[in-house]
Amino acid sequence: EVQLLESGGGLVQPGGSLRLSCEASQFSFHNYAMSWVRQAPGKGLEWVSAISASGESTYYADSVKGRFTLSRDNSKNTLSLQMNSLRAEDTALYYCAKDLGVDRYGYPDFDFGGQGTLVTVSA
C-alpha cells in the first residue's frame, strides 16, 4: 500500500515561508509524477502543483505560481514544496499525492497515501 508522510506544516505569518516535505514508501518513487493538493478549512480540493517523475518538469496553479517551488529527490524518495510569500488564503491542509500509474500526464488520477499537513497563515 502506498505510504506518503507529509510534514512541515505549521503556523506562519503572512509573507513568511514554509517548506513542506513528503516522504514516500512502498512504491518506486522515481517512476511516478507527484502532486500537492490542498484543502482550505471547510472548503473543496484545489490542485496546487505537480512534478514529473524525473523532476525535469514542474507545474503550478495560477494561485501559487511564482511563490511556490516544487522539487524532488529520487535518491531519498522525498518530495518538497517550498512556499514563500505566504498569504492567508494559503491556509489549508496540504496533501501529497502520487499519480495512479506511470506516464499519466494529463490524467488527474491521484493516490492520496497520507493524512496531510496543516499550514496556517495568520498574524
| Count of residues touching another protein (by CB under 8 A) | 25
The C-alpha cell of 93 is what?
A: 491542509
Asked if 37 interacts with another protein (CB under 8 A), we say yes
Q: Which is nearer to another protein, 3 or 15 (CB)?
A: 3
Among 2, 40, 100, 118, binds another protein (CB under 8 A): 100
Among 7, 13, 28, 65, binds another protein (CB under 8 A): 65
CB 7 within 8 A of CB 20: yes
The C-alpha cell of 52 is what?
A: 514529473
The whole-angstrom separation of Cα 45 and Cα 2 is 20
The sign of the dihedral angle between the CA atoms of 2, 100, 97, 54 is: positive
- Residue 13 CB, nearest approach to another protein (Å): 27
Among 41, 56, 75, 106, binds another protein (CB under 8 A): 106
